Amino acid sequence: MDFATLRDCCSVSTCGQQGTKVCPLSRFVNRTLIILPPSGRVGYLLSFPTHEAIKEGPGVKALWINPTPDLMDKQLQRWATMSGVHPIRIPGYWMDKEGLDIPIGAPLQPGEKILYRLHGGAFTICSSHPHDYSALIPRDLLKNCPSFRRAFSVEYRLSVGPPYPARNPFPAALLDTLAGYSYLVNECHYRPSDIIIMGESAGGNLALGLTRYLLQHEHTLNDVPAPPAGLILSSPWVDFSTSHVTPGSSVFLNAESDFVGHLIGLENYSTFAFLGPHGKDGAETNMYISPASLHIEPTFRGFPRTFLIAGEAEVFLDQIKTLRNRMVRDMGEGSDSGQVTYYEAPDSIHSPISLPWHEPERSDVYQHIAEWMDML
């Protein structure tokens, strides 16, 4: 039985102080996938498509995305050199709304928005491939939001850490998502005002980092595009440090109701692999890695309209609230003059939109996203 079948067949039970819907088997499978090393005789329960090849299949629309070394500033170059990474070509995948067959790179229809989706998976698992289990997220966004007719994703490099040779730590994934955004604007000639970036969990972290980079350099580096029209962030992982690990915090209160508690701290596999040589200092003080770290006070001035989602019973809740407070401080809140809309899904765990059994909360989140999209 494969992972998707395992998770979908799980019965839902209650667990934790808040009576949150939790599937124990789902939690076990997710923990196992993230904790185990990515290769070797004992590895993941699943294999994932990677950046090394385009995986063909029925209905798959894909192409190679060229690297963009000319879009790197000196700081990004230093981080890349420190980590031993450089811009490379990567696969890009397109997905159409059900019933449509749109040529790759076709012009937009009136009122259409492009969904640029960055997948989650703790920077160490999952894929942007349209047949990946997590592809249900862009598929459901296409279904629920009329202005979306197609979604684009890049197969960004996944991080690998000890006991295996380190590969693709920060900023490898940022370089890849920058190349994908440049492709949409500079090659497909879509206006940034027609692009919405969506990311869940680690993908939300990437969406924030990419947007910050675009804001900082759209007027200082040639060909760096303007930022997108909006962000959709589902349970973004925004603090790799331990600054939110305090008595009484969501890290402890929601430990038994969520499935990502093992990601907290500097010693877990995914954190260690992603940080690489940047280590504890990077986790605490680099705004591209931990924009919600309590060790720094990054600004969010100029960020586009943002729909920020958290689960009431998720481990990341406190760090997401810190992100919300900082964004609201600099951008305003609400759908009128404000730029930030925050939705805390009641009785929900980490990224409820990624869990088909997490109903009715999952459908409620999609409804709120659709309403927000209608106001853009």
Mean pLDDT lowest among 4-18, 31-45, 51-65? 4-18
pLDDT tier for residue 10 given thresholds of 50, 70 and 90: very low
Q: How far apart are CA 287 and CA 197, in angstroms?
A: 19
Q: How far apart are CA 107 and CA 158, in angstroms?
A: 31
- Nearest to 205, CA basis, from 119, 270, 135: 119
pLDDT in tens, 349-375: 887 788 777 788 888 999 999 999 999
Domain that holds residue 343: 3-374
Q: How far apart are CA 315 and CA 326, in angstroms?
A: 19
Helix (H, G, I), strand (E, B) or coil at 161: coil
Number of domains in the chain: 1
> Is 80 exposed, middle or buried, given 0-12, 13-18 or 19+ CB atoms closer than 10 A?
buried
Strand order in the sheet with 195-200: 61-65, 90-96, 148-154, 113-118, 195-200, 230-234, 305-311, 340-345
Q: Is the pLDDT of residue 39 over 70?
A: no
What torsion do the CA atoms of 177, 33, 272, 171 make, to the nearest 10 degrees? -10
**Could you tell me whether strands 195-200 and 148-154 are parallel, antiparallel, or unpaired per DSSP bridges?**
unpaired
Percent of the chain at pLDDT exceeding 90: 67
> Is 46 exposed, middle or buried, given 0-12, 13-18 or 19+ CB atoms closer than 10 A?
middle
pLDDT in tens, 89-111: 999 999 999 999 999 999 999 99
Q: Where are the alpha helices (DSSP H) in the chain?
A: 3-9, 24-35, 74-83, 136-144, 172-182, 202-217, 250-253, 269-275, 279-285, 317-331, 361-374
User: What residue type is 41 in one-letter code?
Assistant: R
Instruction: Answer left, alpha or beta for residue 77, where phi above 0 means left and psi between -120 and 50 means alpha.
Output: alpha
Q: What pTM did the predictor assign?
A: 0.89
Q: How far apart are CA 122 and CA 317, in angstroms?
A: 16
Helix (H, G, I), strand (E, B) or coil at 317: helix
Q: Is the dihedral of CA 237, 242, 248, 252 positive or negative?
A: positive
Instruction: Check residue 262 and give its pLDDT.
Output: 60
CATH number of the domain that residue 240 is part of: 3.40.50.1820
Instruction: Check residue 337 and give its pLDDT.
Output: 66
Q: Does residue 85 contact residue 278 with C-beta atoms inside 8 Å? A: no
Average pLDDT, the chain: 86
Q: Is the pLDDT of residue 317 over 90?
A: yes
What residues pair up with 109 in beta bridges, in sequence order?
none
**Is 211 or 3 the better-scoring residue by pLDDT?**
211
